[in-house]
Amino acid sequence: MGSDEDGSESLQDIFTDPWRPPTPEATFARYLSHKSEHDSKGSPSEVAIRLVGSHPLWGHYLWNASVAVAEYLESNRHLVRGGFVLELGAGGGLPGIVSAQIGAEMVVLTDYPDRELIDNLTYNADHNVSPADRTKVNVQGYVWGHKVHDLLAALPSTRENWRAFDLIILSDLVFNHSQHDALLRTCELCLTPPSYEPPSKRPAPCVLVFYTHHRPHLSHRDLDFFNKARAQGWICEKIVNRKFPPMFPDDPGDEEVRSTVYGWKLDRGFSKAEATTT
């Protein structure tokens, strides 16, 4: 330690903070989108997703599964057009933002209620959704499995005061094995029952679950999500199997498995009487 001229220790020497590496700067990931069917004949437009520099909840990556969901929605716009969309664990929010761009009536983007994550998600909505459509995007902090009142309250009461979502997006979340029950609970509380008939005919309400087995030796635990869903009455259908460059090339495990994005569609038939008010 250093000392003052009289030999006493200086305060800055006594109260020293451990050295910490500087927080990495935010980065941007680019996604090329066709905002309307007519744009497909011209040059695609760019969606610039800002990612936090580093985060323990993995919000600093644009996951392959998010890209796969966005592309799937652009090819299946009927799932989104005129509907209410909820994205859980949104990270940078790419699928939800694309949903807003291609005709969703309302999109609610959520992630863990951490200021850095929510501020970044808000930034991405502000910078990628046109001013005319920005009022159709709501950003919230939300903990899976908790009450859903605030999520539903963000929806306009245009359906005879019946508020629920037509589409729920889960992108690369099933590796959180301890949260499977919480995720399914939120989906159950938020998804529109098929028995509800809106004024205009829409596809059956569904949940899109896209993921990669980032830890191949735990793939059976990832798949427990669908076992639990089936046990709770959800119908699970595999709809996508796509190859991408692996997110983490140096990780252990079969690279073929770590390079594959799987997409599933879940829906559940239950009546209005069974819907839970929260």
Query: For residue 52, what pLDDT is reported?
Result: 85
* Of 176, 202, 187, 182, the residue nearest 87 (C-alpha): 187
Is 89 annotated as ligand-binding? Answer: yes
pTM: 0.85
Going from the first residue of the chain to its last (278 residues), give the mean pLDDT of each consecutive group of 10, the final group possibly shorter.
46 46 75 66 77 64 94 97 96 97 97 94 96 96 98 85 90 97 97 72 91 97 98 96 94 96 87 36
Query: For residue 54, what pLDDT is reported?
Result: 59
Query: For residue 58, what pLDDT is reported?
Result: 53
Q: Which domains does the chain have, with CATH numbers?
A: 28-274 (3.40.50.150)
> How far, in Å, CA of 98 to CA of 129, rounded?
9
DSSP assignment of the chain: --B-TTSPBPHHHHSPPPP-PPPPPPEEEEEEE-SSGGGGGSPPEEEEEEE-S--TTSTT---HHHHHHHHHHHH-GGGTTT-EEEEES-TT-HHHHHHHHTT-SEEEEEE-S-HHHHHHHHHHHHHHS-HHHHTTEEEEE--TTS--HHHHHTS-S-STT---BSEEEEES-TT-GGGHHHHHHHHHHHBPPTT---SS--PPPEEEEEE--SSGGGHHHHHHHHHHHHHTT-EEEEEEEEE---SSTTSSS-HHHHTEEEEEEEE----GGGPPP-
Is 171 annotated as ligand-binding? Answer: yes
> How far, in Å, CA of 277 to CA of 254, rounded?
44
Query: For residue 56, what pLDDT is reported?
Result: 53
Is 91 annotated as ligand-binding? Answer: yes
Is 229 annotated as ligand-binding? Answer: no
Is 264 annotated as ligand-binding? Answer: no
Is 144 annotated as ligand-binding? Answer: yes
